[in-house]
Structure 1
Amino acid sequence: MTDFALPDFLMRGGPVIWAIAALSVLTLGLILWKLFRLSSLGAWSGGRVTAEAIALWQAGDSPAALARLAPRASVRARLAHAAMTAHGDAALTPDGAREETTRIARALLAELRGGLRPLDLIVTIAPLLGLLGTVLGMIAAFQALQDAGGQTDPATLAGGIWEALLTTAAGMAVAIPAAAALTWFDSIADRLQAEMESDATRIFTRGGAQRP
């Protein structure tokens, strides 16, 4: 098997391989940014503090519950704080308090899912770009075969074909980790959504501070 360096690989793949390389850099950047963003939103923390605050709320100590949640930046804590505040707001009916909590929950979920659509797009277009590069390469290889008539060296034709197939391999190499990351991020968002719904239900239906 012929060895070649990365610049040689990019040159052999043509313009399409450069587009796939750019997608790979974008994919890595999106994944790293999303990991940082989820960490800052408390995807792996904040559950204990929220549970303690809800316990205080259910015990009737709403000031302590709100104070426990106020400095927290996790989405669970922010939603619980918003639900408690809406529940205790005399200007809101019970239905109005739930609607206000739902509105805030949607905004928090939008934060959690931010950046997933670009990843989804990369999962879709990276293999298609790879296929496009392969088709273009195959067309060029067979065009060369036609132009050369019966004098074509089979090794040259084979080399043109495998160079065309590089783009398909590169497209899949970008799409596979992007799809894995997208599925993982989706599962995190789904888990947090379920936990936030459970927290809001506990705040509104189980004991807690009474509305004035």
Structure 2
Amino acid sequence: MLPGLDISLEHAVTVLSDFLNKGGPALWVIAALSVVTVALILWKVWSFLLQGAFSGGGLSARAAGLWRHGDHDQALALVDKRRSLRARLAAAAMHASEDPALDGPAAEAETDRVGTRLLTSARSGLRVLELIATLAPLLGLLGTVLGMIEAFQTLEDAGTRADPAVLAGGIWEALLTTAAGMAVAIVAMIALVWFESIVDAVRHDMRTAATVILLRAPDQEAESACGEEEVAA
């Protein structure tokens, strides 16, 4: 590492450490929460990319349409072995629909089970973001209250010799935790709402594709009715 860069990095670390020390333990905890928040957001974006959550439901909708019109092989080829959430649900619905051991309600139950598992994996980490969005402002407020208590204790000890500048310095240092907590909570809440909207869109597309796939076509219903009549005869 270059000497100048080493000195600049050391200075930045010193400044950051002094800033966090002014806010006390609460500000250190909030700083740790901010690191967790950024890591969670990056991880969820990467996870959604791998799960195809940003790709839209065009592929699964096209596969469902092909399945509905009787082109089962091509429909299954579009979604089978793919990693996206929508495609995996569509493939599960197709396999359940073709399984002779599963009737209509059983196929729907199996598809619902797979969909619930996929959506649960898509929502992983969101509860932590929700907790951070709730906890960060409370920690900030706690740090502010503790800082104000310390500032007024200093004022009481000083008595008539109290310096307003010292009191003002203690108050603004105490307010640092509130500002930091609110900043972390705002970022966490924005990310949470965004991720929730993505999961809702995925859920809607999955439900639509599964309904189309599991809904029996008129010609299939006619064939089933004829088969039942032949068995009865």
TM-score, length basis structure 2: 0.85
**Which digits, 9 at most, give the CA deviation of each residue in 1:78-103, with x for residues without a partner?**
00000011011100111000000000
Instruction: Specify which of 9, 18, 24 is matched with residue 8 of structure 1.
Output: 18
Instruction: Specify which of 86, 96, 102 is matched with residue 86 of structure 1.
Output: 96
Instruction: Tell me, in whole angstroms, the C-alpha distance in 2 between the residues paired with 1:210 and 1:101.
Output: 20
- Give 3-state SS (helix, strand or coil) of 2:24's partner: helix
Instruction: Tell me, in whole angstroms, the C-alpha distance in 2 between the residues paired with 1:208 and 1:78.
Output: 26
Instruction: Tell me, in whole angstroms, the C-alpha distance in 2 between the residues paired with 1:22 and 1:206.
Output: 54
- 1:125 has 2:100 as partner: no
CA deviation after TM superposition for structure 1 residue 206, in Å = 5.5
Q: Which runs of 5+ in 2 are unaligned?
A: 1-13, 225-233
| Amino acid paired to 2:41 | I
| Amino acid paired to 1:175 | A
Instruction: Tell me, in whole angstroms, the C-alpha distance in 1 between the residues paired with 2:102 and 2:219.
Output: 15
Partner of 1:72: 82
- Give 3-state SS (helix, strand or coil) of 1:44's partner: coil
Instruction: Specify which of 189, 205, 208 is matched with residue 195 of structure 1.
Output: 205
- 1:176 has 2:186 as partner: yes
Instruction: Specify which of 162, 166, 177 is matched with residue 156 of structure 1.
Output: 166
Percent of residue pairs bearing the same amino acid type: 57
Instruction: Tell me, in whole angstroms, the C-alpha distance in 2 between the residues paired with 1:145 and 1:44.
Output: 56
| Amino acid paired to 2:211 | T
The answer to whether the 8 Å contact 1:57/1:209 transfers is no
Structure having the higher Rg? 2
- 1:110 has 2:120 as partner: yes
Partner of 2:54: 44
| Amino acid paired to 1:51 | A
CA RMSD of aligned residues (A): 1.7
Ranges of 4+ aligned residues in structure 1 off by more than 6 Å: none
Partner of 1:20: 30
